[in-house]
Amino acid sequence: MIKKMINKSASKSPWLFHINTGSCNGCDIEIVACLTPRYDAERFGFKLAGSPRHADILVVSGPITVQSRDRLIRTIEQTPDPKCVVSVGSCPKSGNVFKGSYGIDGPLDKYVHVDVSVAGCTPKPEAIMEGLYKAAQILEKKREAMSK
Amino acid sequence: MIILQYLFYILIFPGALFTIAAGLLLAGIDRKVIAHMQKRIGPPVAQPVYDFFKLLGKETIIPATANRAAYLIAPVVSFVSLCIVMLFIPILGFRAIGGAADMIVILYLITIPGAALIVGGAASGSPFAGIGISREMVTMMAYELPLVIILLTVAKKVGGDMLIFDLGIVSAYQAQAGSLITEWSMIPAAVAMLLVIPAEIGTQPFDVAEAENEICEGPLVEYSGSPLALFKLSINMKMIIMTGLFTALFFGGIRTGFVITDLIVFVLISTAVMLVCITTTHAITARLKIEHLFKFYWTVVAGLALVSAVLVWIGL
Ligand code: SF4
């Protein structure tokens, strides 16, 4: 019974950790907008965590600059399982307008499996919310696979 | 038989199970009400329960620089000490364990979670935790002084000529002479106690030690999985314990005659106390700096408590 409760809770209390890998700040503002009273992501249990050790969902924005690459990989490794990676914006997906720049070493799925990818420049808060919600469902599946 | 009875006290009521359930309930109400104050819908009231179970299911990472034993034992010590504190707090008419000086026992036991947080944070070996620890220590010193003065005032008020540190007698006195909150000389002490509670639990504006957007939750920065779950649970349990202590000290005179109804009234009053001193302050304030916190507690809060102490000592 406790095991069932743990599995069920995985999707109901996903804590976010936001990694900015050189984003233009557009996506970051929209992520913060999800937490404001208008969209209120907390009603699904989403909460911004202060440390990657507490996080379940890693929200990555930005085109992965060479400077931030190692930090990104280290932060992802520091997060305990089960975890999900959500990319926000077109930047982590394809490089967007920064594609081909000498300072960029993307895309994100070169380094880690991306569970949900929200496209757009910038994506609307509604789209980000949907992406996060889907990630929470994936989290539950991952937890079930872990407990087997 | 007596062993079974004590086991029941410690494990179920008013020990571990009750404290956990009531603490999680209060934390859920707290988050919901804050959300409504900010015009949000807010998480379901059961959200702290989900948080707890989710953390249980996470992987526990122990940093390579950490001292393994201290790192893992600290959350357990914090949890166990809080289970025991609740035994000493009278639930209006009902009292599980009593002694001649249980106020002093409570005073010692409620500092243990703070100390465990310091030990755990130090054992994790993170520099963020180092800053958090020093702040936690200053916070503890800051609220300890007013708390001691408040307890002394209550002891003097109830004892008359001598000091009485027995919460059972405090409760019986209030049942006879009316709750202490109705005495005007005790009102400054009650206000001081209301201000001590948020610092003890570590909510805004007094959450300097765990400032999550500044030093990544301080001592908790490296914790993950079930040790983190226990620490978070400890914080929730402290909510019912501190507000319960307030209820026992200042509203102890209410009697309904049955343990069950006593319990319900106790939880209701504790919730009301929480809404005043934790939820409202959290919703309307921003975080203080550590030196401001220290100054605030040793001047304003300690001053309020002292006013009460002087009034009581001269016999009002
Ligand atoms: S996707 Fe667009 S808004 Fe988002 S970080 Fe990239 S350029 Fe900025």
**pLDDT tens, residue by residue, A53-90:** 888 899 998 888 998 888 889 898 888 888 899 999 88
- Decide: helix, strand or coil at residue A116: strand
**Token code pair at residue B107:** 């005073």
The CATH number that applies at residue A76 is 3.40.50.12280
Residue B302 has pLDDT above 80, yes or no: yes
**pLDDT tens, residue by residue, B194-209:** 888 888 888 878 877 7
Residue B204 is predicted with a pLDDT of 77
Report chain A (148 residues): mean pLDDT per 10 consecutive residues: 82 88 88 87 86 89 89 89 88 85 84 88 89 89 82
Mutate which: B32, B54, B128, B131, vs A, most A CBs within 10 A = B54
Q: Is A90 in the pocket of ligand 1 (CB under 6 A)?
A: yes
ipTM of the complex: 0.87
Residue A34 is predicted with a pLDDT of 87
Cβ–Cβ below 8 Å for B50 and A13: yes
Chain B residue closest in CA terms to A5: B53
Mean pLDDT, residues B127-142 taken together: 86
Residue type, B59: E
pTM assigned to the model:
0.87
Confidence of residue B29 (pLDDT cuts 50, 70, 90): very high
Q: Is A89 in the pocket of ligand 1 (CB under 6 A)?
A: yes
**Token code pair at residue B179:** 């709750």
Cβ contact A125:A34 at 8 Å: yes
Dist CA B250 CA B316 (whole Å): 16
**Nearest residue to A27 (alpha-carbon basis) of A18, A17, A15, A37:** A18
3-state percent helix, strand, coil for chain B, nearest multiple of 5: 75, 0, 25
Q: In what order do the strands lie in the sheet with A57-61?
A: A47-48, A15-20, A57-61, A84-88, A116-118
Give the structural domain span for A108.
Answer: 2-147
Q: What is the 3-state secondary structure (H, E, C) of B188-215?
A: HHHHHHHHHHHHHHCCCCCCHHHCHHHH
Give A33 Cα–ligand 1 centroid separation in angstroms: 15
Total domains, chain A = 1
Mutate which: B55, B58, B220, B221, vs A, most A CBs within 10 A = B58
> Which residue among B212, B220, B224 sits closest to A80, beta carbon to beta carbon?
B224
Closest Cα to atom 5 of ligand 1: A23
Give A22 Cα–ligand 1 centroid separation in angstroms: 9
Give A102 Cα–ligand 1 centroid separation in angstroms: 18
Give the structural domain span for B109.
Answer: 2-313
Residues 273-312 of B with CB under 8 A from A: none
Dist CA B27 CA B250 (whole Å): 22
Residue B208 is predicted with a pLDDT of 74
Closest Cα to atom 8 of ligand 1: A24
Q: Is A87 in the pocket of ligand 1 (CB under 6 A)?
A: no
Residue B172 has pLDDT above 80, yes or no: no
**Token code pair at residue A112:** 């880690």
Alpha-carbon dihedral of residues B95, B97, B102, B107, nearest 10 degrees?
Answer: -90
**Nearest residue to B311 (alpha-carbon basis) of B153, B160, B94:** B153
Total domains, chain B = 1
